Structure 1
Amino acid sequence: MGELKIKDKQIVVPGEVLAEGMDYLPSAGTYRNENDILSNQIGLASVSGRVIKVIPLTGKYKPKRNDIVIGEVVNILMSGWIVDIGGPYSAMLTLKDASSSYIERGADLSQFYTYGDIIASEIVSVSKTKLIDLSMKGPGLKKLKGGRLIDVTSSKVPRIIGREGSMITMIKDSTKCRITVGQNGKVWISGNNVQDETKAVEAIMMVENESHSEGLTDKVKAFLEGK
């Protein structure tokens, strides 16, 4: 019979035993050593059913296929757009992945996306040399107009989104803001007024700063309700 040695959202350190026995399965940030599952980094333990993973508390964003990222168009080439998604690597949005409609070669690409545009896109491939290709073909992938863009620690993004989107949905519903969260630690917020946007920003920063706290959902709910 397996035994869980830690609590969900508990801070753990490298080498710490998270579970004993074969009933639990190791995932990201963990490894199995004979009968035990151990952490390989400092972070927050996350237990979902039988699966255990560790979310790092700090660390730079590591681009992965299928990640939704927010970036800024920084250059226009003959074949597409260069997008800054943060970190040491830029990404490429090619003509074929920029739109569901056909874009002819030689077209004025600035009519689609131009310098300074903020876009939400999906990573479709990451090469061994960290060449990143993006796509705008998918639900919610679009140019983000107006609003404000904030940076959060990318490792805190799962906590900001919440289990099955529960945390970010609560913030959206309470502030009536449109919010897009990028896996690269960029969050776009657009509300009906500055006050609503500011409240959404403060709630998101609360989640980032207190991501290891117990009862965080109740704290954020109380803040949003002005209690």
Structure 2
Amino acid sequence: MGEILVKEKEIVAPGDVLASGMDYIPTDGAFRDGENIVSSLLGLVYIKGRLIKVLPLNGVYIPKKDDVVIGRVSDMTYSSWFVDVGYAYDAVLSLKDASSDYIERGADLTTYFNIDDFIIAKVLKVNKSMAIDLTMKGPGLRKITRGTVITITPQKVPRVVGKMGSMVSLIKENTGCQIVAGQNGRIWINGTVPDMERLAVKAIKFIEQNAHKSGLTEMVKTMLSKEAKK
């Protein structure tokens, strides 16, 4: 018999044993070591059925109404999709909020969104128990069919976007890429030239690593200029 050795939302450190036995499955931030499930980082424990995950303390996304997020479809039922948005619990996208078109019950939902598809969605509602409802109805909300999705610390997203969108505009102008920054820390980059797409990714990671520094805009301009000349 497996046994949970920690409490829900308990703070754990790398190497802490979260559960013993083979009844539980490690996911994000955890791994199996023989008979035990062990934390790989400093964070908060979340348990959903047999699944155990650890979310990093410095990167926990707290969903809010009207947030634009980039999510990954993790499961589906006959009437909805479950979407991983980087929070402890999956968000729900219902049939009525998935499309402006009418979707009949019993329709093949995989023709709209399949497991592991990425989508750009908006948080429609967050209730008191932090259950999240999403919508795909709105400008720019879509299924992602090309490009790259990367993940950064959610708290660094405002630095990537910049004042009035200035920083993300700088990257777009220098790379020719489409960029959508989800408030949950996932960012979609789509470029027609692979090298420019990689440069945009590098610039965003550079901003994340140097977000605490002043004069960041000039640093990014210099980095983009040097990389473009290579």
Counterpart in 2 of 1:134?
A: 134
1:130 to partner: Cα distance:
1.2
- What is the 5 A alignment of 1:1-227? 58-226=58-226
1:59 to partner: Cα distance:
3.9
Secondary structure class of the residue paired with 1:197: helix
Does structure 1 retain, via aligned residues, the 8 Å contact 2:63–2:87? no
Alignment size in residue pairs:
171
- The amino acid of 1:78's aligned partner reads Y
In 1: Cα distance, 2:79 partner to 2:178 partner: 31
1:69 to partner: Cα distance:
0.5
- The amino acid of 1:69's aligned partner reads V
Counterpart in 1 of 2:16?
A: none
**Superposed CA RMSD:** 1.4
In 2: Cα distance, 1:94 partner to 1:189 partner: 27
In 2: Cα distance, 1:145 partner to 1:224 partner: 27
Does structure 1 retain, via aligned residues, the 8 Å contact 2:148–2:190? yes
Gaps of 5+ in 2: 1-56
In 2: Cα distance, 1:136 partner to 1:173 partner: 28
Counterpart in 2 of 1:40?
A: none
In 1: Cα distance, 2:154 partner to 2:148 partner: 18
Does structure 1 retain, via aligned residues, the 8 Å contact 2:81–2:93? yes
1:111 to partner: Cα distance:
0.8
Share of identical aligned residues, percent? 48
Q: Which has the higher contact order (CA 8 A, sep 6+)?
A: 1
1:193 to partner: Cα distance:
2.4
- Superposed CA deviations along residues 197-222 of structure 1, whole A, max 9, x for unmatched, are 11101110111111111110011011
- The amino acid of 1:145's aligned partner reads T
Does structure 1 retain, via aligned residues, the 8 Å contact 2:161–2:168? yes
In 2: Cα distance, 1:144 partner to 1:71 partner: 10
- The amino acid of 1:60's aligned partner reads V
In 1: Cα distance, 2:208 partner to 2:70 partner: 18
- The amino acid of 1:67's aligned partner reads D
Distance of aligned partners of 1:59 and 1:111 in 2 relative to their CA distance in 1, 3 Å threshold: closer
- Superposed CA deviations along residues 82-120 of structure 1, whole A, max 9, x for unmatched, are 111113110000011101111111111111111111000
